[in-house]
């Protein structure tokens, strides 16, 4: 190893990565992919990629920021893989939508009317609700989950999501709508 590479590795300090950053990176990955084993694997892949790219680390940001950026790219790769594996036919999607809406009137069908989730003001702090929400998210098709997560959890811009997942803008909005409808339906069936 030459002196430049040694100096860069001293800035990056891979010996301390697990101790200083593993828990944070794991929680970050788990919040995005909702799969414990996959989150662990992504953190390991992040550390390996960081070791391979240590020469690129210039110290302009913190180690954690740099490692998180690498992990984020790994997560986007997972989203892409999910999206390529889970396209539904338009007919099936339309059938699902007809279950919830009356297309002639443009309103909910009576059995699908939105119901209250209770009187609690902040359901996301309720651990039981959060567990049910995670289970409902897991039931979404891969592409829907990827689009929903990137837009509503990661707060990515529509253009970025369309580019990363290779979907059109109109398809993006249909996916978001259907993901919300299915998520709401699952929550209504399983919460209270």
Element (H, E) at 32: helix 17-33
The number of domains in the chain is 2
109 pLDDT exceeds 70?
no
92 pLDDT exceeds 50?
no
Q: Are 103 and 130 in the same domain?
A: yes
Q: Which of 63, 85, 107 is the last residue of a domain?
A: 85
Lowest mean pLDDT among 1-15, 44-58, 123-137, 142-156: 1-15
pLDDT digits (tens, 9 = 90+) for 12-71: 678 889 999 999 999 999 888 888 999 999 999 999 999 998 888 888 888 899 999 999
Residue 17's domain comprises: 3-85
CATH assignment at residue 118: 1.10.10.10
Give the pLDDT score at 115: 59
Q: Which of 46, 68, 85 is the last residue of a domain?
A: 85
Q: Are 109 and 65 in the same domain?
A: no
104 pLDDT exceeds 80?
no
Give CB contacts under 8 A, 24+ apart, made by 73-77: 74/29, 74/42, 74/45, 74/46, 74/49, 75/29, 75/32, 75/33, 75/42, 76/164
pTM value? 0.57
Element (H, E) at 138: helix 127-139
114 neighbors 184 (Cβ within 8 angstroms):
yes
């Amino acid at each position: 190893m030459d002196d430049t590479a040694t100096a860069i590795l001293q800035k990056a300090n891979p010996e301390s990565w697990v101790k200083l950053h593993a828990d944070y990176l794991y929680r970050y990955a788990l919040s995005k992919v909702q799969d414990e084993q996959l989150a662990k694997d992504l953190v390991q892949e992040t550390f390996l990629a960081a070791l391979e790219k240590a020469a690129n680390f210039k110290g302009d940001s913190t180690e954690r920021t740099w490692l998180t950026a690498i992990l984020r790219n790994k997560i986007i790769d997972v989203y892409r893989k999910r999206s390529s594996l889970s396209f539904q036919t338009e007919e099936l999607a339309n059938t699902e939508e007809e279950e919830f809406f009356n297309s002639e009137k443009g309103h909910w069908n009576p059995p699908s009317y939105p119901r209250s989730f209770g009187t609690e003001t902040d359901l996301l702090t309720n651990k039981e609700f959060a567990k049910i929400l995670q289970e409902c998210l897991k039931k979404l098709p891969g592409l829907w989950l990827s689009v929903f997560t990137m837009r509503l959890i990661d707060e990515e811009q529509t253009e970025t999501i369309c580019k990363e997942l290779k979907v059109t803008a109109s398809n993006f909005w249909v996916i978001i709508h259907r993901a919300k409808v299915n998520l709401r339906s699952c929550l209504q069936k399983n919460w209270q």
